[in-house]
């Protein structure tokens, strides 16, 4: 059965509440539709990935709104939210165009004009930080999968920002632990280099990478940033080839990563280990644009397709109906989980009142076996960060990602000493 259906853009019923700027949003509904605002880049350089993640979010909303007893996912067994008399979720989509100014304007519109009770989407850390100015002003929850540590470490005064997924701290710890495993297996890994795009995403990651290199005892031989969406990375690759690190860590988005790997191939250089920090490494474009050049590349992640969990297998089967055959991937999973958790917490609160919803988001009563993530629990700290979130590291082997870390969930052994292009 094809589950794809049009997402309603018409509010059913009457919204009651005040949305004046600077006032708490105590919106409740005498209606059977509840709006969640979804922000994603639907035009611009990141549009293809933004559309794919949006399709995945639409799939989650359909699974919530329709009865799917055969899908072992939160809220799938019933049609709509059972604690609100079957109220339906409406995903109100807004195009950020990959621009923080546009994103903040759209966030304001989603709250003040559309009446959305919470915001989420395919958001970078920089986007999340910009949008949070609006959600803090209106006192409306913002749930993000952006990984910058500064979003939930207390360095910024956020009351309405929530994150269930991992921070860069865990992703980078996992990266160095994998390097330790390589050394234990007999592959000598002593030096590391960093290449990062220069927005909030890359800037935050490289700070963590530098700090933890010292903690784990690895020598940094090169540390470079570049402008996102650069048209050439030749000079950067020449410097990397000269430094010849044992391991290269890369933080970049899809177009940058594709350009980087093609340039490395042209210059016939590949380190023993290349660890991507998600971003462009977990998009469908990464595989379709690069073909067999992706072999041996590692990526950290908050999800993996080969994790044995009924909920994951169900979504992997359903998603291609929405995506014209594109497979569900790590880059979609975290943002979709945020949609599911917002809906679950609305159901838990039994109301769309902002304060009550925020309290539910701080302590979700959710069965993690019915969430398509590798977590076994959700434990939120004082800064609204899930400290129980766990990650994985994947490696491309035979044309697809295989989980190689940690030991308890891996499905393949890692290949640590990758051959360069001319040796393949």
Map out the domains of the chain as residue ranges.
13-165+307-370, 168-301+391-423
Instruction: Say yes or no to pLDDT of 396 above 80.
Output: yes
pLDDT digits (tens, 9 = 90+) for 272-315: 999 999 999 999 899 999 999 999 999 999 999 898 889 999 99
Q: Give me the CATH topology for the region 13-165+307-370.
A: Rossmann fold (3.40.50)
Task: Supply the pTM of this predicted model.
Answer: 0.85
DSSP 290-301: HGGGGTT-EEEE
Instruction: Say yes or no to pLDDT of 269 above 90.
Output: yes
The residues, ordered by sequence, that sit 6+ positions from 235 with a Cβ below 8 Å of its Cβ are: none
The DSSP 8-state label assigned to residue 7 in this structure reads P
Domain spanning 168-301+391-423 has what CATH number? Answer: 3.40.50.2300
Among 12-26, 112-126, 135-149, 207-221, the range scoring the smallest mean pLDDT is: 12-26
Could you give the C-alpha distances from 376 to 37, 164, 223, 309, 366, in angstroms and in order? 27, 12, 36, 11, 10
pLDDT digits (tens, 9 = 90+) for 93-118: 999 999 999 999 999 999 999 999 99
**Fold agreement (13-165+307-370, 168-301+391-423):** yes
For residue 247, how many other CB atoms are within 10 A of its CB?
A: 25
Could you give the C-alpha distances from 171 to 62, 104, 150, 278, in angstroms and in order? 31, 28, 14, 9
Could you give the C-alpha distances from 163 to 56, 148, 262, 299, 342, in angstroms and in order? 19, 11, 34, 21, 11
Instruction: Say yes or no to pLDDT of 401 above 90.
Output: yes
State the pairing for strand pair 13-16/28-31: antiparallel
Q: CA torsion, points 94, 99, 100, 105, in degrees to nearest 10?
A: -40
* CA 385 – CA 321 distance, rounded (Å): 33
Q: What is the mean pLDDT of the chain?
A: 91
């Amino acid at each position: 059965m094809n589950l794809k259906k049009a997402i309603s853009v018409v509010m059913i019923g009457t919204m009651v509440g005040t949305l004046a700027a600077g006032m708490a949003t105590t919106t409740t509904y005498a209606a059977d539709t509840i709006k969640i605002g979804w922000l994603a880049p639907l035009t611009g350089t990141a549009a293809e990935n933004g559309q794919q993640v949006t399709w995945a979010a639409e799939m989650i909303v359909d699974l919530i709104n329709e009865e799917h007893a055969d899908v072992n996912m939160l809220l799938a067994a019933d049609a709509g939210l059972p604690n609100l008399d079957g109220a339906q979720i409406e995903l109100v989509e807004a195009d950020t165009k990959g621009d923080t100014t546009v994103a903040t304007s759209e966030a304001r519109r989603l709250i003040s004009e559309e009446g959305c009770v919470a915001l989420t989407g395919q958001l970078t850390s920089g986007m999340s930080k910009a949008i949070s100015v609006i959600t803090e002003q209106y006192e409306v929850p913002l749930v993000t999968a952006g990984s910058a540590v500064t979003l939930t470490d207390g360095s910024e005064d956020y009351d309405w920002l929530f994150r269930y997924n991992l921070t860069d701290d865990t992703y980078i710890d996992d990266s160095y632990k994998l390097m330790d495993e390589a050394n234990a297996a007999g592959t000598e890994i002593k030096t590391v280099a960093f290449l990062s795009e220069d927005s909030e995403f890359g800037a935050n990651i490289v700070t963590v990478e530098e700090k933890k290199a010292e903690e784990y005892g690895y020598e940094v031989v090169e540390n470079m940033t570049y402008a996102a969406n650069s048209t050439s990375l030749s000079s950067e690759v020449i410097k990397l080839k000269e430094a010849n690190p044992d391991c290269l860590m890369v933080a970049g988005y899809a177009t940058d990563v594709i350009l980087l790997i093609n340039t490395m191939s042209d210059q016939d250089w590949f380190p023993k280990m290349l660890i991507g920090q998600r971003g462009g490494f977990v998009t469908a474009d990464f595989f379709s644009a690069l073909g067999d050049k992706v072999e041996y590349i590692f990526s950290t992640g908050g999800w993996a397709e080969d994790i044995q969990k009924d909920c994951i297998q169900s979504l992997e089967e359903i998603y291609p109906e929405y995506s014209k055959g594109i497979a569900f991937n790590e880059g979609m999973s975290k943002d979709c989980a945020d949609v599911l958790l917002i809906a679950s917490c609305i159901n838990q609160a039994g109301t769309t009142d902002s304060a009550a919803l925020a309290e539910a988001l701080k302590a979700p009563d959710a069965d993690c076996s019915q969430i398509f993530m590798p977590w076994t629990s959700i434990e939120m700290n004082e800064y609204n960060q899930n400290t129980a979130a766990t990650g994985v590291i994947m490696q491309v082997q035979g044309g697809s990602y295989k989980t190689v870390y940690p030991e308890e969930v891996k499905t393949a052994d890692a290949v640590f000493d990758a051959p360069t292009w001319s040796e393949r």
